[in-house]
Structure 1
Amino acid sequence: MLSNHQYSVCVCAFFLFFFIEWHRTLALRLTNMNVPEVVDYRDTVTLSCSYDLGVHQLNSVKWYKGNQEFYRYAPMLTPQVTVYPVDGIAIATDRPTICNQYLCSIRLTALGRRSSGEYRCEISGDAPEFKLANGTRNMTVEALPVEEPTISGLSASYLPHEHILANCTSDRSSLPVRLLWFINGRTVPMEYLQQQQETTLESDSFQLRYRTLEMRVPIDRLVQRELDNAIHIKCIATVDLVPAASREAQAVITLRSHRSSLFGFGAGGHNSAAGASVPVATATGRSSLLLVLLSAQCIMMWAGSTVYSLPDSGGLHSL
């Protein structure tokens, strides 16, 4: 059974919790704000904030870039929407904005360097209190890779003693791009890679860069455990700050044997020029002897010399 002191503590805790919840339902507050952190300048981006008015009436929703207001929604005024000119801000007009008693969502287009900055959503309640709630988020506009990286320098097929020599070049990006090579799903070791080459240029007020990474891989070191002749090559261009901007390119090359290259035989043959012997069947028995003598007879007929007939049970005799 609770003592008087414990009972008093429980009652106080209950009323404190009730008061906090009751006050929360009455207060005007911002419940969510969505502004992307990094966007591509070619995109159209959506900024949105949602709110709980509590017991208040909505007076206005205002959007700011820095300290400059560029969009206002005031449901009790005519017109309800007012757009103010701000450098770097262009409201998309292909679809209507969505602003009401619960949320306000706008879309920005024609982005550039000046579109980067701090964005603030501010909600105002009606008279007589004019309560305010606001939130801020930062957005950075960059030029992100759009195209897949380009793989160049590959041949269609290779011999086991050859090297795979190829280059991977990323699409242009204002953010650093990291290139990775993979062969048959395994990362190519650093010892087979050359230092990444970077080229920089100016475009649309962005300093763009693209990178090229060369690999030189001895096939017999990397694919000696593979069971088939297909070698799968992949290059990934990744932007560490924006994982969604990563792009990849793939290619498949063929591993062929020396014999298939020189003689048109199957992949299981051996290359005598490389020091491996080509096996010859041992001639045993009467059928093998007949084959040898027949070959000798044909050669001597061609040369105009004395020709021996095939042996009978008595051995060889001159024609």
Structure 2
Amino acid sequence: MKVQVLMCTYLCFGFVLGLKEVRIQTPIAVKKGESTKLYCWYDIEGDPLYIVKWYKSGHEFYRYAPQEKPATKSFVVGNLHVKESESNATQVTLINVDVDAAGCFSCEVSADAPSFQTAIASGNMNVVELPFQRPIISGLRNKYRINDVLKLSCSSSYSRPAANLTWYINNNQATESFASIKYINNTEQNISMSTLQFQIKSDSFYNGTLKIRCSASIYDIYWQSTEVSAEEDKLKITYIEPISNVIGINYHQPPPNFQLGQTKLDGEIDIKVIGNSAVRIISHIITLKLIGVCRFFIL
């Protein structure tokens, strides 16, 4: 019984000293069709390396065994393509990554004598299909007034996974406390849509302009934005000037005061009567005739 206990203690102690800190480094996401590297870090504390194996969802697709020639060897697993010339004991290079390459990857490290220990670490990788165009904003008018209700929609075309949409108002991220924001993600077609609605206020405009931006993002490898703007439609007050029948040029005294019987400016010249109504013409003719009659009686 004592021997078994000692052996167990030795094995556990050997595991700690022989192989530790096995870590895997996988990218969060990779664009479809691109290449990427997966890393496996470990410390075998002086023991010789026996073998490193890589698995995709439990299926081995690459191994590195320093005692074998060649030391690297790859296996067919789905559409994974390993570039062995750029793969070694601590990394494996995948080229022309397809969407089915997404999933769980594992790195298994085994030390040689005297510890003969094995440890494994796992990590996930996503493969992204990017949208073919920027997000589209619709529903904007050219001008808005205070208390108008602005309602816009933003859509992002097919992508895998569907893009995240974020609204910005005058470069500030829109929040639920300020605006009504609804997301409509079509998981079957991988299309994202979102609506933004709020009431225009006096501080909604900056220098008379309201800017709205919709940004589409996928993990840390895709970020595209579309921005639109509208102007403030201010109410214009129209002043209607009174219509004048008499236009004086170079007036040097107040206009005629009809309440006091003054019908002509004393010593003023260049007085023009405008208007083509028949009433004004007949009045002018009658005035001329009266002047003629007065002259006749004076003579």
What TM-score does the superposition give when structure 2 sets the normalisation length? 0.64
Q: Deviations over 1:5-39 (max 9, x none)?
A: xxxxxxxxxxxxxxxxx978941234431023444
Cα distance in 2 between the residues matched to 1:142 and 1:174: 5
The reply to whether residue 97 of structure 1 matches residue 74 of structure 2 is: no
Q: In 2, are the aligned partners of 1:30 and 1:49 still within 8 Å (CA)?
A: no
Using the TM superposition, give the Cα deviation of residue 52 of structure 1 relative to its aligned residue in structure 2, in angstroms: 1.6
The reply to whether residue 106 of structure 1 matches residue 85 of structure 2 is: no
Cα distance in 1 between the residues matched to 2:24 and 2:270: 92
Q: 1:257 aligns with which of 224, 234, 244?
A: 234
What TM-score does the superposition give when structure 1 sets the normalisation length? 0.61
The reply to whether residue 79 of structure 1 matches residue 79 of structure 2 is: no
Are residues 179 and 26 of structure 1, via their aligned partners in 2, closer, same or farther at CA, if it must alter by over 3 Å? closer
Structure 1 counterpart of 2:153: 167
Q: Deviations over 1:84-108 (max 9, x none)?
A: 1111322247xx42424xx334335
Structure 2 counterpart of 1:3: none
Percent identity for Structure 1 against Structure 2: 22
Q: Deviations over 1:93-142 (max 9, x none)?
A: 7xx42424xx33433533223x2333211222234653322212233445
Point out the structure with max Rg over C-alpha. 2
Cα distance in 2 between the residues matched to 1:30 and 1:68: 23
Task: List alignment gaps of at least 5 residues for structure 2.
Answer: 1-12, 245-250, 257-264, 286-299
Using the TM superposition, give the Cα deviation of residue 296 of structure 1 relative to its aligned residue in structure 2, in angstroms: 7.5
Task: List alignment gaps of at least 5 residues for structure 1.
Answer: 1-21, 201-206, 259-269, 273-277, 308-319
Q: In 2, are the aligned partners of 1:31 and 1:51 still within 8 Å (CA)?
A: yes
Q: 1:299 aligns with which of 263, 267, 274?
A: 274
SS in structure 2 opposite 1:306? helix
* 1:1-319 → structure 2 map (5 Å cutoff): 26-92=17-83, 96-100=85-89, 103-113=90-100, 115-127=101-113, 129-143=115-129, 145=131, 147-155=133-141, 157-160=142-145, 164-175=150-161, 177-184=163-170, 185=172, 187=174, 196-199=183-186, 207-215=188-196, 217-218=198-199, 221-224=200-203, 226=205, 228-238=207-217, 242=219, 245=222, 247-258=224-235, 270-272=236-238, 278=239, 289=255, 297-300=272-275, 304=281, 306=284
Are residues 180 and 251 of structure 1, via their aligned partners in 2, closer, same or farther at CA, if it must alter by over 3 Å? same
Cα distance in 2 between the residues matched to 1:295 and 1:187: 66
After superposing on structure 2, the runs of 4+ consecutive aligned residues of structure 1 that deviate more than 6 Å are 22-25, 293-296
